[in-house]
Amino acid sequence: MRILGIESSSLVASAAIYEDGITMAEYTVDFKMTHSQTLLPMIDEMVKLVGIDLNTIDAIAVSGGPGSFTGLRIGSATAKGLGLALNKPLIHVPTLDATAYNLFGASGLICPIMDARRNQVYTGIYRFEKKFETVMDQDAMDMSELIEKLNAMGERVIFLGDGVPVYEKQIAEKMTVPYDLAPAHVNRQRAASVAALGAVYFAEGKTETAMEHKPDDSRKSQAEREREEREEKEKNA
């Protein structure tokens, strides 16, 4: 089984080729470049380096959200375009599920957090007990509420994601249970995890056509939020 993975839900742009339990190639950039500039060139470079034909992939796994409004749509458009051109199915992989999958086999609770601004985070809670389990489905919530919930669960927690540096001080001040922060090589979204979890879903028959795929609803873009705020102020003036 050969899966192309695409991740673009945050500042990280990542693409990977996974085959039968092996990550054949992964290309990840976490820098100030737009995903529209990076994703297709990254995929093209990987294909050249490993010497495969994209027609030989079985499916395309794409990080489906939550996350950046624009980033998700660029990833979705890339996956849909390739799916239509290659006549391949897509696999919708929830972003936070894939992020937690970075820590496969870890003990305790795994809690990825993505900064959603204004003390809000996108988060989920996961664990590994013989298999990957979802304790709390991914959702948006207040960071204080999340910490309160984790403390009440009474288990060691591993935090990861781009929300960690934003809320690290709050975590240190309010967490009453033992916790760790994931190290650099696994603390951000990765296309290899999207592809690996996508392979599990593919084996379970969880695919969709390119035309059916759409990213999960997410926060509106900053420009849209600012425009709506201006319009609301003008309306109330």
What would you report as the CA-atom Rg of the chain, rounded to the nearest whole angstrom? Answer: 18
The domain containing residue 156 runs over which residues? Answer: 103-186
Q: Region 73-99: what's the mean pLDDT?
A: 97
**Residue 84 within a domain:** yes
Q: How many whole angstroms separate alpha carbon 163 and alpha carbon 18? A: 27
**Residue 230 within a domain:** no
Specify the number of domains making up the chain. 2
Residues 129 and 196 in one domain: no
127-137 pLDDT per residue, tens? 998 899 999 99
- The 3-class secondary structure across 90-114, one letter per residue, is EEEECHHHHHHHCCCCCCCEEEEEE
The letter for the amino acid at 22 is I
Residues 177 and 193 in one domain: no
Q: What's phi and psi for 188, nearest 5 deg?
A: -130, 170
Last residue in a domain, options 143, 161, 186: 186
154-207 pLDDT per residue, tens? 999 999 999 999 999 999 999 999 999 999 999 999 999 999 999 999 999 999
Q: How many whole angstroms separate alpha carbon 92 and alpha carbon 198? A: 8
Residues 113 and 148 in one domain: yes
pTM of the entire predicted model? 0.89
The letter for the amino acid at 24 is M
Q: If you count them, how many residues does the chain have?
A: 237
CATH number of the domain residue 162 falls in? 3.30.420.200
Q: What order do you get walking across the sheet with 157-160 strand by strand? A: 132-142, 120-128, 109-115, 157-160, 179-181
Residues 78 and 34 in one domain: yes
